[in-house]
């Protein structure tokens, strides 16, 4: 290992330590209140800002930490063990940031904006879902209009996580009024240049702190805020891999939190009858295997994704069916595994896990994990995989 990569590893270790501290001292104590009131985890996001963690994915040449996907996944997984909503906010911010950091560096405006983000620790949200597109992210109804160097963009979004608290929003839209639905671009809308009118509520089973109601967005700004290139490419090369890896890592964190509670419970039972192994210990062993299997899925995908960055033509490979299928499988597997693991942890803990006011309570983790299969519906993803498999013949 050369000196530069050792220095980067040490810098990452410090960041990871900062997230562990924020998870334990800020996110965990606030998690129940965030969940009960369906309120934004403002204390946790403020602590992440203070620790400079919102610029983890900004390239080092622009003053950021230059963390790769594996590292960002570890940060999300750690925070999720304390508060799933906070981790989802961090993951969604990292996903949007990656779209800019990996696709807009040729733009003078975006290079400057990323530098400003490092200094100001801006929070970035997204608006992909839209009334009329039925959960299909790769098509838009709304279109960006361009005139005299300015853009105009209005959108009716069905779901906009923490948009009301973000400094900027990345919005998908058609590239122009005459463009077909799939000819999309990403536009960065600054909070001060838009109005947001909340159109629906966010009183959900779980992930309540993401504060994700529908919004009517009306915005304008300079055309330099349109991310260069087609969203088709930034979606396949960045938004989809980052989303599926970072979501999987945080769903794993939620599951790991549940298993840790179950393990504490089993150890407590063992202490009550020294010299005996409680029957729940065997179930703990089974669920810890499933948790480990789940971790390997997102970790190996993140490793392979990061390795592509060093390979000639690596980014083109991300446009291949092989990668699309792998990422689809990752999302479906991890979104199914997370609630299963929490369910098994609940069977181990029993009634103390079912109670909302017990230290072993698993209600929030269970409800949060149920969002995973809906967040871009697994059926929708499976249908896309099914059509690719009609022509793709390699072993997955
Ligand atoms: C916690 C959370 C945060 C979110 N944050 C954001 C955000 O910040 N920005 C944003 O833009 N979006 C966000 N979303 C929205 C999300 O990404 C999806 O767009 C949305 O959840 C899909 O809505 P839907 O279930 O109504 O749509 P659909 O995908 O249309 O699903 C509706 C039903 O149709 C079924 N279905 C769909 N396609 C098929 C098919 N091909 N075959 C069989 N059945 C099918 C599904 O199984 C489901 O039963 C968030 C969602 C969650 C849960």
Per-residue model confidence (pLDDT) at position 86: 98
Residue that is last in its domain, among 122, 141, 160: 122
Question: What 8-state DSSP symbol labels residue 230?
Answer: -
Q: Is residue 187 situated within a structural domain?
A: yes
Pairwise pLDDT comparison (135 vs 25), residue with the higher score: 25
Total-model pTM: 0.97
User: Is residue 219 located within the same domain as residue 235?
Assistant: no
User: Is residue 144 located within the same domain as residue 13?
Assistant: no
- Ligand 1 centre to CA of 265 (Å) is 36
Closest atom of ligand 1 to CA, residue 128: 11
**Interacting residues of 316 by C-beta distance below 8 A, sequence separation 6+:** none
Using one digit for the tens of pLDDT, what is the confidence trace for 69-117? 999 999 999 999 999 999 999 999 999 999 999 999 999 999 999 999 9
d(CA 236, CA 210): 25
SS3 content of the chain, % helix, strand, coil (to 5): 60, 10, 30
Average pLDDT of the residues in 159-172: 98
Per-residue model confidence (pLDDT) at position 314: 85
From the list 210, 128, 228, 222, the residue with the least C-alpha distance to 169 is 128
Domain that holds residue 239: 231-389
Kindly report the number of other CB atoms within 10 A of residue 27's CB atom: 29
Kindly state the tokens that stand for 377. Answer: 């519906």
User: Is residue 197 located within the same domain as residue 96?
Assistant: no
User: Atom 24, ligand 1: which residue's CA is nearest?
Assistant: 135
Per-residue model confidence (pLDDT) at position 286: 98
- Ligand 1 centre to CA of 38 (Å) is 20
Arithmetic mean of pLDDT over the chain: 96
Q: State the CATH number of the domain containing residue 9.
A: 1.10.540.10
User: Is pLDDT above 90 for 163?
Assistant: yes
Is residue 383 lining ligand 1, measured as CB closer than 6 Å? yes
Using one digit for the tens of pLDDT, what is the confidence trace for 304-350? 999 998 787 888 999 999 999 999 999 999 999 999 999 999 999 99
- Ligand 1 centre to CA of 375 (Å) is 5
User: Atom 48, ligand 1: which residue's CA is nearest?
Assistant: 377
First to last CA, the chain: 32
Residue that is last in its domain, among 122, 142, 159: 122
User: Is residue 211 located within the same domain as residue 322?
Assistant: no
User: Is residue 118 located within the same domain as residue 235?
Assistant: no
Alpha helices, DSSP H, located in 104-140 = 108-120
Average pLDDT of the residues in 189-209: 98
- Ligand 1 centre to CA of 131 (Å) is 11
User: Is residue 281 located within the same domain as residue 341?
Assistant: yes
Instruction: Label residue 383 exposed, middle or buried (CB < 10 Å: 0-12, 13-18, 19+).
Output: exposed
Average pLDDT of the residues in 159-179: 98
Is residue 126 lining ligand 1, measured as CB closer than 6 Å? yes
User: Is residue 357 located within the same domain as residue 242?
Assistant: yes
User: Is residue 209 located within the same domain as residue 88?
Assistant: no
For 302, what's the count of Cα atoms within 13 Å in the CB-facing half-sphere? 25
User: Is residue 218 located within the same domain as residue 259?
Assistant: no
Is residue 382 lining ligand 1, measured as CB closer than 6 Å? no
Is residue 240 lining ligand 1, measured as CB closer than 6 Å? no
Q: How many residues does the chain have?
A: 396
Mutational pocket test of ligand 1: of 243, 379, 383, 384, the residue with most ligand atoms within 8 Å of the beta carbon? 379
Q: Is residue 55 situated within a structural domain?
A: yes
Residue with tokens 């899925």: 297
Q: State the CATH number of the domain containing residue 197.
A: 2.40.110.10
Per-residue model confidence (pLDDT) at position 3: 73
Q: Is residue 396 situated within a structural domain?
A: no
Domain count, the chain: 3
Closest atom of ligand 1 to CA, residue 206: 1
For 83, what's the count of Cα atoms within 13 Å in the CB-facing half-sphere? 33
Per-residue model confidence (pLDDT) at position 273: 93
User: Is residue 366 located within the same domain as residue 238?
Assistant: yes
Q: Is residue 375 situated within a structural domain?
A: yes
**Contact (Cβ atoms closer than 8 angstroms) between residue 244 and residue 327:** yes
Q: Is residue 356 situated within a structural domain?
A: yes
Q: Is residue 395 situated within a structural domain?
A: no
**Interacting residues of 261 by C-beta distance below 8 A, sequence separation 6+:** 345, 349, 353, 359, 360, 362
Q: Is residue 96 situated within a structural domain?
A: yes
From the list 91, 207, 221, the residue with the least C-alpha distance to 159 is 207
Per-residue model confidence (pLDDT) at position 185: 98
- Ligand 1 centre to CA of 176 (Å) is 25
User: Is residue 96 located within the same domain as residue 217?
Assistant: no
- Ligand 1 centre to CA of 159 (Å) is 9
Is residue 128 lining ligand 1, measured as CB closer than 6 Å? yes
User: Is residue 263 located within the same domain as residue 379?
Assistant: yes
Residue that is last in its domain, among 71, 97, 122: 122
Q: State the CATH number of the domain containing residue 315.
A: 1.20.140.10
Closest atom of ligand 1 to CA, residue 129: 11
Q: Is residue 166 situated within a structural domain?
A: yes
d(CA 129, CA 194): 18
Question: What 8-state DSSP symbol labels residue 55?
Answer: G
- Ligand 1 centre to CA of 264 (Å) is 35
Using one digit for the tens of pLDDT, what is the confidence trace for 272-307? 999 999 999 999 999 999 999 999 999 999 999 999
- Ligand 1 centre to CA of 273 (Å) is 48
Question: Phi and psi for 203 in degrees, rounded to 5?
Answer: -110, 85
Lowest-confidence segment of 68-72, 134-138, 162-166, 185-189 by average pLDDT: 134-138
Strand partners, 171: 127, 187
Task: Give the pLDDT band (50/70/90) at residue 396.
Answer: low
Using one digit for the tens of pLDDT, what is the confidence trace for 32-76? 999 999 999 999 999 999 999 999 999 999 999 999 999 999 999
User: Atom 38, ligand 1: which residue's CA is nearest?
Assistant: 380
Is residue 169 lining ligand 1, measured as CB closer than 6 Å? no
Average pLDDT of the residues in 254-265: 98
Mutational pocket test of ligand 1: of 129, 196, 369, the residue with most ligand atoms within 8 Å of the beta carbon? 129
Kindly state the tokens that stand for 28. Answer: 């965990």
């Amino acid at each position: 290992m050369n000196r530069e990569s050792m220095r980067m590893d040490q810098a990452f270790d410090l960041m990871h330590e900062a997230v562990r501290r924020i998870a334990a001292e800020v996110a965990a104590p606030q998690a129940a209140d965030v969940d009960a009131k369906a309120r934004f985890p403002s204390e946790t996001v403020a602590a992440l800002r203070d620790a400079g963690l919102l610029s983890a994915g900004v390239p080092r040449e622009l003053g950021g930490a230059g963390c790769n996907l594996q590292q960002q996944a570890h940060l999300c997984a750690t925070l999720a063990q304390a508060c799933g909503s906070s981790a989802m906010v961090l993951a969604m911010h990292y996903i949007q940031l990656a779209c800019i950091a990996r696709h807009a560096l040729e733009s003078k405006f975006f290079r400057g904006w990323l530098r400003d983000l490092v200094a100001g620790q801006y929070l970035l949200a997204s608006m992909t879902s839209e009334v009329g597109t039925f959960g299909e992210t790769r098509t838009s109804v709304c279109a960006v209009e361009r005139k005299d160097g300015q853009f105009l963009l209005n959108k009716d979004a069905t779901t906009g996580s923490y948009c009301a608290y973000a400094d900027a929003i990345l919005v998908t839209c058609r590239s122009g009024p005459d463009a077909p639905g799939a000819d999309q671009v990403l536009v960065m809308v600054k909070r001060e240049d838009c109005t947001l009118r909340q159109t629906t509520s966010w009183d959900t089973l779980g992930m309540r702190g993401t504060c994700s109601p529908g919004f009517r967005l009306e915005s304008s700004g300079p055309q330099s805020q349109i991310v260069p290139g087609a969203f088709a490419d930034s979606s396949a090369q960045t938004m989809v891999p980052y989303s599926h890896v970072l979501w999987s890592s945080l769903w794993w964190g939620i599951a790991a939190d549940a298993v840790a509670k179950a393990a504490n419970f089993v150890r407590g039972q063992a202490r009550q009858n020294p010299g005996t192994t409680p029957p729940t210990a065997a179930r703990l062993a089974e669920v810890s295997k499933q948790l480990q299997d789940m971790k390997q899925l997102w970790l190996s995908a993140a490793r392979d994704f990061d390795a592509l960055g060093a390979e000639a033509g690596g980014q083109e490979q991300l446009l291949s069916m092989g990668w699309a299928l792998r990422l689809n499988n990752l999302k479906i597997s991890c979104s199914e595994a997370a609630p299963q693991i929490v369910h098994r942890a609940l069977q181990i803990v029993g009634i103390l896990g079912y109670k909302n006011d017990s230290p072993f309570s698993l209600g929030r983790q269970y409800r949060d994990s149920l969002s995973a299969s809906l967040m871009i519906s697994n059926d929708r993803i499976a249908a896309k995989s099914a059509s690719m498999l009609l022509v793709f013949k390699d072993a997955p």
